[in-house]
Amino acid sequence: MMYWMYFKRCLVLFWALFAVLFAALVQPVWAKTVTLAQSSAAVVASSSPQITALFSPQDNIEQAIVAAIGRANKQILVQAYLLTDNKISDALIAAHKRGVAVQVMLDAERSKTKASDGQRMSDAGIEVRLETAYENAHNKVMILDGALLISGSYNFTYAAQFKNAENIMLIKNAPQLIAQYTQNWRNHFAVAVPFK
């Protein structure tokens, strides 16, 4: 059952990436016709999804995540298997302190480790919930301001940046995909239990 859910998620990401690439290849003629006052990059950037892929350890994923959190203005939704990276946790706490609505979901078993930042975030006033319905709540997702989706194999840990081979995608201008992830996040959050 868990493999089927993982397969479905991979399939969704594959089709989303395929749709983005296909759309870039078959843009309507009006999108390719640009006046001298416009650049083609501006036309494409405003209407096409923007996907950035990063790979650790060679890319600084930790820094990219911390920077994205620093730019959030309204809301950050987090779903994590592990969250032990103090820089990421500090950025989430700082966002909460500046008025951003931060909500975090963690795998219940992994949140019991000494290194988990669940307690620290809860103590800072962030709503933290635990996913208990699964053997492993293995999602690694951040949704920022309903406009940026961060997801991939990257656990929010020091090891993911400096010891592992990991990946993430930062996806913008993909409202349907981000809405789908947001709804999935809300479904999980509704049945997750408050952090204790």
Please write down the HEC assignment for all residues of the chain.
Answer: CHHHHHHHHHHHHHHHHHHHHHHHHCCCHHHHCCCCCCCHHHHHHHHCCEEEEEEECCCCHHHHHHHHHHHCCCEEEEEECCECCHHHHHHHHHHHHCCCEEEEEEECCHHHCCCCCHHHHHHCCCEEEEECCCCCCCCEEEEECCCEEEEECCCECHHHHHCCCEEEEEEECCHHHHHHHHHHHHHHHHHCEECC
- At residue 141, the pLDDT reads 94
- At residue 33, the pLDDT reads 28
- At residue 29, the pLDDT reads 32
CATH entry, 49-194, from 3.10.150.10, 3.40.50.150, 3.30.870.10, 3.40.630.30: 3.30.870.10
- At residue 196, the pLDDT reads 76
Domain boundaries defined on the chain = 1-48, 49-194
- At residue 121, the pLDDT reads 87
Report pTM: 0.74
- At residue 21, the pLDDT reads 40
- At residue 72, the pLDDT reads 98
- At residue 170, the pLDDT reads 96
Q: What is the mean pLDDT of each run of 10 residues along the chain (196 residues)?
A: 50 47 36 31 61 94 96 96 88 98 85 73 92 74 97 87 91 96 94 85
What amino acid positions are annotated as catalytic residues?
138, 140, 145
